[in-house]
Structure 1
Amino acid sequence: MTAQPETSETLAALRTRHPRFIYRSYHLSRSGDALKIGFEFETEPGIIFHPDLTIPGIAPSTWEQCPPEVLNNLAFHLGLMEIPSYWKATCSPEIVVEAGPLDEWQRTWWTDLLINGMTEFFYVNRIPFTAPDFVTIRASHPGTAAPPIWPRDAQRSGSPGRILVPIGGGKDSIVTIETLKKHAVPFGCFSLNPMGAARDIVRVSGCRADHVITRRIDDTLLRLNAEGYLNGHTPFSALIAFLSVTSAVLLGYRRVAVSYERSSNEGNVSYCGREINHQYAKTFEFEQKFRAYAATYLAPDVDFFSFLRPLYELQIARLFARLTPYHAIFRSCNRGLKQNVWCHNCPKCLFVYAALFPFLEPDAMRTIFSEDLFAREDLAQTAFQLLNLAEQKPFECVGAFEENIAAFDLSIRKLRAAGQPLPPLLRLVEAQILRNGTDPADLADPTDHGWRVHPLLTSWNEQHALPEELAGWLRAELDEASQ
């Protein structure tokens, strides 16, 4: 696929006009128990950005014991992770890091994240990004042999068993925290600029350690967007990785459990000979790369892993279906995020609806969605995108094609077993992909899931970094749900 001429012309003009993006500095300040980190970036010539982050709840002992160079290293890395959000406005061909040192391996690592984490942005803006000199990261200071990480020789405070769990508002992190609660594991909740659903989840969970991090985006970026500069998707989950590990160091946690599933490993579309994956920063590939980086340059005693990596989204939906106190409060819809509602029109809404339908009664579905999305014939194209019957998979955090097929298949089987007519959308889906010439009577037994469904619901992905004990707990939940 070739770049659209109008975007190519805009891109070329921006890169010529703004040849360098510079990470100039960061600064730290303390206000009570909170650490505020400010950054200065410049898009040459003369476009200055000053975003900031605030991490509250830091204990007095941490302020006393944490070496200043460690705080500086953590802050420096959070600034590195902010670069994609501001660099994307111009895609300047050179990124200069003046704020701190980077060795060659780090520069390669950050270039890899920038390219792979921004592929959706490149695709949507029709930017050809595969040339070796598309972007170069240069550091003003070479990396040191021993980065300032804590501890190196001494142990810091914090229980080895405590787990910090990022909360976004959806069902996945709920399954994580409820499984940890079941086994009396001490945990804290981490949220970044939380909306209503995330706050409600923390409240219902009974979590007493609620860590709310504030991130402020510089208004200058919003102004540039309004003026026609480039805009689009950035690897937000990579920011969560760096910010959650930093918070773990400062707040006394030794483990960070994100809630990313194996479904995120599947891409959306191909472009410029590369796979474009909306969820790249949630993939096992990135998880492994980040774990290696954090162990060397960030926090060697913080274990970062995805608790749900062995499972598909459909399996997670089955586990979540049992957690009724959360049904009315969780939200997965990005379009309705600020209003704390389901929009009922997007791929994410339809996917979550289809994933939960086989495992919940009609009253429970109404409690969550207030509308029967399977009655919506106008969602047919969205369904076909989920089922690999369209040009591309939606740029949303949705299931893999095979489990999406399974979700719709199970929904059809459930209704036929109950002797109920199929609503319009399911009739269209059945005609397009699920029946394949099979007599509907063959689909009547809901316990006969067929080759598409049963192996998937009991599947376990061995590509994960889950500690053995926690993996055993998750397996037990899966087995219990299958009975």
Structure 2
Amino acid sequence: MSDPTRRSGAGTLWLGTHTRSEHQLSLQFGLDDLRFTASYWYEDVDLVDLERRYGPDTLDRVCFHLAAFTANTLVSLRPAHFDAGPYQRHCTPEFWSLWRRVVHGVWAQWRYEHDLPDYEGPDLLRSPAEVVPSPVAVSGTGEPGVLAFFGGGKDSVVSLRLLQRAGVPCDTLVYSSSTYGSAGKQHSLCDTLLDVLGLPAERRRRVWAYDDLVDSPVARLAPQHDLLPLTAAETPASVFAAVPLVLAHGYRGLSLGHERSADQGNAVWSPAGDEINHQWGKSVECEQVLADYLRTHLVEDCHYFSPLKAVHDPLIFTMLAAEPDAIPFTHSCNVEKPWCGRCAKCAYVWLGYSAYLPADVVARTFRGHGNLFDHPDNQVWFRQLLGLSDHTPFECVGGVEETRLAFALCRRRGLGGLAMDVFEREVPPVDLDALLERYLEVGSLGAWCPPGWREPLEARLRAAAAGARPQLATS
């Protein structure tokens, strides 16, 4: 049994006052006497004008949600209480239910890594607010389109093209994060890719996010907090970071490139009986609860959804093949952008590219890295991806069967190496046709995606799947 003294943690996670200028929002938060700051810079939003248009209380509500989902990184230090501080009037029962649900889902991996099955995050220090405000109505006369998050990976490219070809008007949002290194490099890489894709500059939005907790020496200088690495609810935080853009420009949708593959967990942890899913923030469960909350409690008639939620990675890789000029400019490594060639993310994406895309395109994309099947650092990742370890990699990657399908397709193309030797020696025979039938299936985008967008998007996905089947079939 787990130690009951480990359930509640110690200390208080608190939110402090914020400041805002024309283009910058600065937040304060901390744990007891530890104080941190985060700032969000908006190129295409005048926060002073937003306050004039919507009133200070609405802007305070938006700041509260962004502060609370930025500060919840401190759940990684196991606080006992949560103090909303100056935002107490906005801390409603509905908000608290959402915040705790996100903590439960996102921090499942963290609980597993630290053997804390019973810790569910901090408790409220004060009773929640009694008055539940109505969502704000977006003003403006602009085109009621979609703001599409664009991170520079395969999903961003396919998602953007899918929206465009389905006739959904959309702009892109690129946000940089302290987690991924230089902000300038992050924006430059995405700009280059968007240039190749032909998206006009006026259709691109940018946010710069800086968080001094992420890069702090908290483990070294506050050794009582030994529960690293830090976990963050990046997707929910980014959604709330986009709300000022929604209010400023009148968007009716926020879209992300989250695929059906993200719904599958990495392992089941027997002490708690929980599925551990590193990608829970990208799961259909998280998408639905965020979509419902955003539309019901914060911004009226703003729909959060993923155009790729109906499909798995094999179809996405196949759809990506239609963009051969753009593929070499994709990037999704979380260690060293564009690609380090030795992490789980690089191993998985290279595998998928090698299975579904032309060899010359793969070589131009991962230039200088060679055959990743042979790299010594990647052997542990490929074993985990193939289901030959206790869990799949704690990264944004596909499931075991998708990996085995990709290996089988690579073998059919004649690609070998150390990891391929492991696949042939230790993995049972793969039924290619059965796996292709399973992973080219198109599901539903969910009722939270408005029918006017959902129906043309699903029709495009079904057409892509019908075209992929004869292309990939073995008989």
Q: Tell me if both proteins adopt one fold, taking TM over 0.5 as the criterion.
A: yes
Aligned-partner Cα distance in 2 for 1:220–1:65: 33
Q: Give the Å deviation of 1:202.
A: 2.4
- Is 1:123 aligned to 2:112, yes or no? yes
Number of residue-to-residue matches in the alignment: 443
- Is 1:178 aligned to 2:161, yes or no? yes
- Distance change in 2, residues 1:357/1:296 (3 Å): same
- Is 1:312 aligned to 2:312, yes or no? yes
Deviations 1:353-408 (A, max 9, x none): 22122222322221112312234466333212001111111011000111111111
Which structure would you say has the larger RCO, counting Cα contacts within 8 Å and 6 or more residues apart? 2
Kept in 2: contact 1:377–1:425 (CA 8 A):
no
Q: Give the Å deviation of 1:42.
A: 3.4
- Percentage of identical aligned residues: 22
3-state SS, counterpart of residue 192 of structure 1: strand
Q: Could you say which residue in structure 1 is the equivalent of 2:437?
A: 455
Kept in 2: contact 1:328–1:367 (CA 8 A):
yes
Q: Could you say which residue in structure 1 is the equivalent of 2:180?
A: none
Q: Which runs of 5+ in 2 are unaligned?
A: 177-182, 471-475
Q: Could you say which residue in structure 1 is the equivalent of 2:70?
A: 82
Q: Give the Å deviation of 1:55.
A: 1.9
TM-score of the superposition, structure 1-length normalised? Answer: 0.84
- Is 1:144 aligned to 2:131, yes or no? yes
Aligned-partner Cα distance in 2 for 1:476–1:220: 43
Say what the alpha-carbon RMSD is for the aligned residues.
2.8
- Distance change in 2, residues 1:412/1:221 (3 Å): closer
Kept in 2: contact 1:28–1:38 (CA 8 A):
yes
- Is 1:164 aligned to 2:152, yes or no? no
Aligned-partner Cα distance in 2 for 1:184–1:343: 36
Kept in 2: contact 1:259–1:308 (CA 8 A):
yes
- Is 1:189 aligned to 2:178, yes or no? no
Letter in 1 for 2:315: Q
Q: Could you say which residue in structure 1 is the equivalent of 2:358?
A: 361
1:261 to 259, 262, 274: 259
Q: Which runs of 5+ in 1 are unaligned?
A: 416-420, 437-447
- Distance change in 2, residues 1:158/1:76 (3 Å): farther
Aligned-partner Cα distance in 2 for 1:219–1:2: 29
- Is 1:91 aligned to 2:74, yes or no? no
Kept in 1: contact 2:75–2:122 (CA 8 A):
no
- Is 1:53 aligned to 2:26, yes or no? no
Aligned-partner Cα distance in 1 for 2:119–2:373: 45
Letter in 2 for 1:118: W
Q: Give the Å deviation of 1:283.
A: 0.2
Letter in 2 for 1:390: S
3-state SS, counterpart of residue 325 of structure 2: helix
Give runs of ≥4 in structure 1 deviating > 6 Å. Answer: none
- Distance change in 2, residues 1:299/1:326 (3 Å): same
Deviations 1:287-320 (A, max 9, x none): 1111111112211221110110011112111111
Letter in 1 for 2:342: N
3-state SS, counterpart of residue 16 of structure 2: strand
Aligned-partner Cα distance in 2 for 1:424–1:216: 40
5 Å matches for 1:187-266? 187-193=170-176, 195=186, 196-207=188-199, 208=201, 209-218=203-212, 222-227=216-221, 228=223, 229=225, 230-231=227-228, 232-266=230-264
1:435 to 429, 433, 441: 429
3-state SS, counterpart of residue 25 of structure 1: coil
More deviation, 198-207/167-176: 198-207
Q: Which has the larger radius of gyration?
A: 1
Q: Could you say which residue in structure 2 is the equivalent of 1:326?
A: 326
TM-score of the superposition, structure 2-length normalised? Answer: 0.85
Aligned-partner Cα distance in 2 for 1:149–1:314: 40
Aligned-partner Cα distance in 1 for 2:440–2:104: 35
Deviations 1:18-73 (A, max 9, x none): x212113223322xxx2x222222322x2222322122213798565333322222
Deviations 1:254-295 (A, max 9, x none): 111100001111111233422211101000000111111111
